[in-house]
Amino acid sequence: MEDELHRGPLEQRALLNRKKGFFLLGLGIVLVLLAFASIFIGSAHLGFAETFNALFGNGSSASVTIVQQVRLPRMIAALVVGGALSLSGLIMQSTLHNPMASPSTLGVSNAAAFGANVAIIVFAGGFLSVGGNANNYGVGSNPFTTSSFALLFAVLSTLLVLALCRIRSFSSEAVVLAGIALGMMWTAGTTVLQFYATDVGLAASVLWSFGDLGRANWTNLGIMGGGLLVAIIVFCLLSWRLNALASGDDVATSFGIRVRPLRFIALFLSSLLTAVAVSFVGIIGFLGVVCPHAMRRIIGNNHKYLIPASILSGSTLLLLSDILVRLIGNGTVLPVGAVTALFGGPFFVYLIFAKKGDKA
């Protein structure tokens, strides 16, 4: 204790940064262990040796298919989607100075759900081939048609929000209010579509909205992973600007930062990242709110550390949720989106009422 009092400001900051580095390292180790464990968990009940061999293409064709085409893409999807949603939520919270900001707040998820329902109910989206049996949803559908419509409407909603804010005022309050209003409109449109849908169309649209990592394949993983990589690079380059913006518009302006263009670019890229992820796997809530908020309390407001911490925590939470749904499903995999909401809701309430303040 006495040694800490005699340390200078630079030494204290260096010590704090080392602690943050160790925290990120520990979080990364936990994530790697969970990712490795998830490959060995599933309804097929493959043994450890059989699963390990199948991971490298050895063993029976059935075990190789299960591990390499089902479990491995599902694990990677949890890493990519969890990191993407958490990073998007972090950027939205930082640029809008609002801890409640998330993809849902800006209406991105609502718009994606509306687009998917248009594809499924209005244009069939490949679901006409399932006949009258909704259980054939995953067999006879064309997922890229539905994903394309979901992505299209999510991007359209983002552009509408940003356009409305440029016309009126590009303040954080205007963005949030415009996002909430458009989100309610997209939800109302989804309700109308589902009211007039056939039984099969309604069942298919509900199944899509659950949020299912099992839809992931190597093609859409490449798209989502590429989008996440580009977003990480861009936001890391903008990290010092985001630090200044998080301190207030006046502070950012005093550093020579053009606040409105920065906010536009950050919100558009984060919303686009969410749109890509949601369009392929469906709605997965609370990750974009809980993980960045929790990491900000633990690791502080410096985006140099906050960006990787949010990505790692989002991937960890989604991967852990996916492991739990496979363990408790008893052969039937529950929608992972419901589990993240069950965990995220109480945890978010705890964060709201926690007395501990943010760290510098």
Which domains are seen in the chain, by residue range? 2-353 (1.10.3470.10)
Please state, in angstroms and rounded to a whole number, the distance separating the CA atoms of residues 126 and 136. 12
Q: What confidence score (pLDDT) does residue 332 get?
A: 59
**Region class of 142: left (phi > 0), else alpha (psi between -120 and 50), else beta:** beta
Output the pTM of the full model.
0.85
From the CB of residue 38, how many other CB atoms can be counted at a distance below 10 Å? 21
Q: Which residues of 160-173 are buried (b: 16+ CB within 10 A; e: fewer)?
A: bbbebbeeeebebe
- Decide which of 228 and 100 is more confident: 228
Please state, in angstroms and rounded to a whole number, the distance separating the CA atoms of residues 179 and 271. 11
Q: What confidence score (pLDDT) does residue 69 get?
A: 87
Please state, in angstroms and rounded to a whole number, the distance separating the CA atoms of residues 9 and 11. 6
- Model confidence at 40, pLDDT cuts 50, 70, 90, reads confident
From the CB of residue 288, how many other CB atoms can be counted at a distance below 10 Å? 34
What is the distance between the terminal CA atoms of the chain, rounded to a whole angstrom? 20
Q: C-alpha angle 297/303/306, rounded to 5°?
A: 45
Task: Express each pLDDT in 286-334 by its tens digit.
Answer: 888 888 988 988 888 889 999 999 999 999 999 998 888 888 766 556 7
Q: What confidence score (pLDDT) does residue 42 get?
A: 76
Q: Considering only CA atoms, give the Rg of the chain.
A: 21
- Decide which of 319 and 103 is more confident: 319
The closest alpha carbon to 116, from 135, 142, 134, belongs to 142
- Decide which of 144 and 16 is more confident: 16
Say what percent of the chain tops pLDDT 90.
23
